[in-house]
A and B are shown apart, each in its own frame.
Chain A
């Protein structure tokens, strides 16, 4: 992992559809090298997937997202890993992290309705062994996702010509 790998990753995170040709020109290396580096980064699972950042609110199908905090009693020999592994298998769980602080695991869950999310947490997550407490935070509005602001900002105007 060198400076060039990092630059490639940053460019891809910013725009996964950027062409190899552009990256090669911008970084001053041959196109073939860009391809082989990306291949390697995928093999090494540094790059997990190319995907899109969607503003689901604009899709307008009334879907619901929530952040769920979980307090978990860690298991001898396994810590949080086995519980986390079970939880992560649910299709509804979009992300799952071990965090410091009052709670231990933090989930991002999506569903079609508020009721569906609530039932999922109550019936599928909460009963799992070792889970001591849950706290559900319904997402009301997304301001920024993956570094991309979702609200419209007034574009600052520059003078069209300055010396």
Chain B
């Protein structure tokens, strides 16, 4: 029998942590700092809205673009929070989480062999999605010395005549890095000079502890060359509802919509209705969660540095990304042994690209008690 698996699918490497994951599932009393989602339940008022939607029989498809009310609220919110101007009729698509938005954004703009720069360390889906879209992912390193921010010189080094787009994610998973307005301006200059497009995944935008989030599309001359992706999962603890959105100039949005309508049709309606409630009445719940993350961050980072794992202060998201170099172990070995010996799960940084090597990602989206217990176990592990 011939091999049926496409070359494209074969080119995607298997998950780097499968073995690790299997081991984890056999263990007891594990504290997992490996969970990339909030530990809060969805604010109850938002869940109630979803439940009521189902009770009322709102269980159908919506328009491909998503409920107009939701698009209007998203548009207003983006304007209020990030000074972005997107027309709810022509420039916004509600997607099944940001994951889908990443995929359709890439497929809308990538031609075969186009190079897409991916700022690393990065969320694990970007490069495979570039590959699936027929493009070639090219890592751009964000250096620890720069606080894992993307720098213009590192970006320019990787630009070739085949480069089409840059994929960024700030506040960043896994490093927690945030790009300030000035940082983004320097990147925007390069982007405009080289006539590139930016795909910006801003799903952690509300989890910013150093000030207000800046959206790259809000910079002069950038809206027409940016696809902004965002969603409800992190800000409103709504990962399971699968609601995100893609915003782009009408032409790009139209192209993405063609893909979305055939592969997804629409985002789940009950999730969309819950998201409407989140935007209408979820602000206080969101702020409360953000305050809690900030306090946990302070607690955890101080603890990491105290036990000898040096860690820059992450300004956003809910990840700490300490270096494990001082232990003499590489990140994979560190994570494996920490799990086996002390039952604490962290994610090896190299999973997020070469730029993450010798670091571990610790999600502090767990209770303060668990964070303290994890720190104690990590300290015992390091000093042993």
Starting from the known contacts A25-B302, A161-B17, 6 additional A-B residue pairs (CB-CB under 8 Å) come to A11-B295, A22-B299, A158-B35, A161-B345, A163-B123, A163-B351
Determine the chain A residues whose CB is within 8 A of the CB of B368 once the complex forms: 22, 26
CA distance A126 to B347 in the complex (A): 65
Determine the chain A residues whose CB is within 8 A of the CB of B21 once the complex forms: 160-161
B39 touches A158 (CB 8 A): yes
The reply on A162 being an interface residue by CB < 8 A is yes
Determine the chain A residues whose CB is within 8 A of the CB of B347 once the complex forms: 161, 163
Number of residues on chain B facing chain A (CB within 8 A): 27
The reply on B340 being an interface residue by CB < 8 A is no
Give residues of chain A (98-126) contacting chain B, Cβ–Cβ below 8 Å. none
The reply on B208 being an interface residue by CB < 8 A is no
CA distance A152 to B39 in the complex (A): 18
Task: Name the one of B17, B25, B298, B345 contacting A26, with C-beta atoms under 8 angstroms.
Answer: B298
Determine the chain B residues whose CB is within 8 A of the CB of A156 once the complex forms: 41
Secondary structure of the B contact surface, majority rule = mixed
A160 touches B17 (CB 8 A): no
B299 touches A161 (CB 8 A): no
The reply on B36 being an interface residue by CB < 8 A is yes
Number of A-B contacts (CB under 8 A): 50
Task: Name the one of A27, A159, A160, A161 contacting B295, with C-beta atoms under 8 angstroms.
Answer: A27
Determine the chain B residues whose CB is within 8 A of the CB of A28 once the complex forms: 298
The reply on B37 being an interface residue by CB < 8 A is yes
Residue with the highest number of chain B CB atoms closer than 10 Å, among A27, A156, A162: A162
Determine the chain A residues whose CB is within 8 A of the CB of B17 once the complex forms: 161
A26 touches B20 (CB 8 A): no
The reply on B272 being an interface residue by CB < 8 A is no
Chain A nearest CB, measured from B40 CB (Å) = 10
Task: Name the one of A7, A27, A160, A163 contacting B124, with C-beta atoms under 8 angstroms.
Answer: A163
The reply on B132 being an interface residue by CB < 8 A is no
Determine the chain B residues whose CB is within 8 A of the CB of A26 once the complex forms: 295-296, 298-299, 368
The reply on B338 being an interface residue by CB < 8 A is no
CA distance A7 to B295 in the complex (A): 10
User: Chain B, 309-348, contact with A by CB distance < 8 Å: what is the 0/1 string?
Assistant: 0000000000000000000000000000000000001010
Output the nearest chain B residue to A26 by Cβ-Cβ distance: B295
Chain A nearest CB, measured from B382 CB (Å) = 20
Chain B nearest CB, measured from A79 CB (Å) = 34
User: Chain A, 1-13, contact with B by CB distance < 8 Å: what is the 0/1 string?
Assistant: 0000001000100
The reply on B34 being an interface residue by CB < 8 A is yes
B24 touches A161 (CB 8 A): yes
A27 touches B298 (CB 8 A): yes
Task: Name the one of B35, B125, B351 contacting A159, with C-beta atoms under 8 angstroms.
Answer: B35
Residue with the highest number of chain A CB atoms closer than 10 Å, among B39, B124, B295: B295
Output the nearest chain B residue to A18 by Cβ-Cβ distance: B368
Chain B nearest CB, measured from A125 CB (Å) = 37
CA distance A158 to B36 in the complex (A): 10
B123 touches A160 (CB 8 A): no
The reply on B32 being an interface residue by CB < 8 A is yes
Output the nearest chain B residue to A162 by Cβ-Cβ distance: B36
CA distance A7 to B298 in the complex (A): 14
CA distance A156 to B298 in the complex (A): 26
Determine the chain A residues whose CB is within 8 A of the CB of B35 once the complex forms: 158-162
The reply on B291 being an interface residue by CB < 8 A is yes
